Amino acid sequence: MIHALLIDDDSMMASMLTTWLSLRGVTVSHYTNIGSGKLALHQKAWDILLLDLSLPDGDGLDLCKEIRLSNINIPILMLTARGDPMDKVLGLENGADDYLAKPFEPLELLARIRALLRRCVEKPPKSNSMIRFGNVEIDRQAAIMRKNGEVCVLTSHQFQLLMALVDNPDRIMSRDSLMQHVRGRDIESFDRSIDVHISRLRSIIEEKPKKPRWIQTVRGMGYVFRT
């Protein structure tokens, strides 16, 4: 059984989803605002967070960023009625793992929940838990990255993408190959989010993101982590 935390002020939609998903192996606990949702988030371990962008007591983006700065490791699926593509980019850059615009089909939501959980399944830690390069330190087991000692905000998608590159130093990796590493067998189209996440990683890791030292582009082939 999958345990999902839903924070959304649309009670009618939430009631429908709760009933529909419960018949398909997903138990949903619904909260209508950030305050009550945050309390629930800390009270138990959840498999996934379904988070609306616009809430009566704040912005879902702020909560998303707060979660990524904490020690809570949970997949986050943004739900929003906003139609601007830039909102999707902002959601991904502030910690969301995926984004679904309203209105949506319940079947698509279920498919995205399952896909997120498949790619976020923890892999057995390698013997070298701590990785360091430049002024960056990665704690593989805790799934945390620091730069100059400060914790950096990464989605689980971005962390897996970074580890796929770091674990294959000086090896050119195509976008399809990276999708395989990050999402397992779930390689359906995900817009161009690999490029969005690479850009986000560079903005954090690199001293000069437009002239990257660590994560470099190999034109027509993919990306490579240079040692």
> Does residue 123 surpass a pLDDT of 50?
no
What Cα–Cα distance (Å) separates residue 21 from each residue in 28, 31, 153, 216? 7, 16, 30, 42
Torsion of CA 140, 151, 200, 137, to 10 degrees: -50
Question: Which numeric CATH code is attached to 130-225?
Answer: 1.10.10.10
For the chain, residues classed under CATH 1.10.10.10 are 130-225
Could you tell me which residue, 139 or 121, shows the higher pLDDT?
Answer: 139
pLDDT reported for residue 118: 81
**pTM, rounded to two decimals:** 0.58
For the chain, residues classed under CATH 3.40.50.2300 are 2-119
> Does residue 34 surpass a pLDDT of 70?
yes
Q: Which fold has domain 2-119?
A: Rossmann fold (3.40.50)
pLDDT reported for residue 188: 45
> Does residue 185 surpass a pLDDT of 60?
no
In the predicted model, what is the mean pLDDT of the chain?
A: 84
pLDDT tens digit sequence for 48-64: 999 998 899 998 989 99
> Does residue 89 surpass a pLDDT of 50?
yes
How sure is the predictor about 169, in pLDDT bands with cuts at 50, 70 and 90?
confident
